[in-house]
Amino acid sequence: MPKSILPREGLTLEAAFAPLRLTILQPLLTGPLLLAAYQFPTSILSKWPFPESLQLLLHSTRMRTILSLLLVIGLLRKIHKIMNKLVSNNFTTDKTWDWTKEIVLITGGSSGMGAVIVRMFAERGIKVVILDIVAPLEALNSLPNVHLYKADITSESEIKEAADQIRKAHGPPTVLINNAGIGANLPILAETATQIRRVFEVNTISHFLLVKEFVPDMAKRNHGHVVTMASMASFLVHAQNVDYACSKASALAFHEGLSQELKARYGAGKVRTTVVHPTWVRTPMIESLLANRNFTDFVLEPETVAEAVVMQVLSGYGSQLILPARLGVVSGVRGFPSWLQESMRNGVNQVLKS
């Protein structure tokens, strides 16, 4: 079956505007057109079978202005992308990645989006170690380069025990993906202290414990990659999702702080860090939400997020991934005027109401 040109989610805004990014926002196209508009002799153009109106348009001041603006926008986009990559990776490259030898460790890899990430790495012949409290999906058991180690990632002693077994059997992991996450979907006043603590222990505290166990080897070799699965909830909180949003905001701060310490305290500027902010993802964690007829928010397929994570790791560079990309504007919400911030939160305060 031929691969669809549309994303798994159908016709999205990103897909609709992709042709524009590939054409009129490409400096390699608008640059020559602008040069032609200024330099191409009218006498030659008049000999071509173009309508006179088109000839006039190509040499009009309005066309030159439009092409100039498109060229500037295209160049700024390119510069923005290049600077993001350079600064996020400490202006360094690491050409030592050898995917026949790298080891990817992922938490919560037995099911949901984590299982998809595991499969995508394993199908490329990359060794994957799952750290989870449950056995993986049956489809993963048939892959010879996938290995499960059971551990509660909120327990320092269980992480330590599993880590020793992993290093003894496979060597130190070079990629750590902190993927495991949970949510309670309850108002603050309805949650127990145990439920609140559990959300923070899985979604945030475990990141500290796992990094303390596995990053020293990466820092020593100045080679590795730590992926932090955050959320769009890192930026915008929903009523009835406060504990989850708080834990994901702290996961973002953890990613930022880890990046700083790796280069400023450990001289490990080539250890990459990536933080991922997906919106709702079609996983078992939101099954009850998807069954609610009143829920109409955009939902990503787990394969879309998994593919973005895998391709980012394979690139050898760290980044901040916001999925879908159009929600990037939300990442700056806390710098918006207060009235606009609160209006945005008001706009989503009924999303989780059953």
Q: Provide the annotated active-site residues.
A: 244, 248
Cis amide bond preceding 7, omega within 30: no
Retrieve residue 138's tokens.
Answer: 């049956």
Q: 297 with 9: CB under 8 angstroms?
A: no
Task: Name the token pair of 311.
Answer: 């391709």
d(CA 107, CA 343) in angstroms, rounded, equals: 36
User: How many Å apart are CA 118 and CA 109, to the nearest integer?
Assistant: 6
Residue found by looking up tokens 């993986």 in the block:
136
DSSP-assigned letters across all residues of 275-296: EEEE--B-SGGGHHHHT-TT--
CB 323 within 8 A of CB 279: yes
Please name the residues in contact with 156: beta carbons below 8 A apart, sequence gap of 6 or more: 209
Token readout for 198 is 């559990």
CB atoms within 10 A of CB 153: 22
Contact between 126 and 150 under an 8 Å Cβ cutoff? The reply is no
Q: Which two tokens stand for residue 305?
A: 């997020």
Tell me the sheet residues that pair with 320.
Answer: 275
Residues whose CB is less than 8 angstroms from the CB of residue 38 and which lie 6 or more positions away in sequence, other chains included: 64
d(CA 258, CA 253): 8
User: Rounded CA gap, 132 and 150, in Å?
Assistant: 5
| CA nearest neighbour of 124 among 313, 320, 317, 318 | 313
The Cβ of residue 279 has, within 10 Å, a number of other Cβ atoms equal to 19
Determine the residue type at 197: R
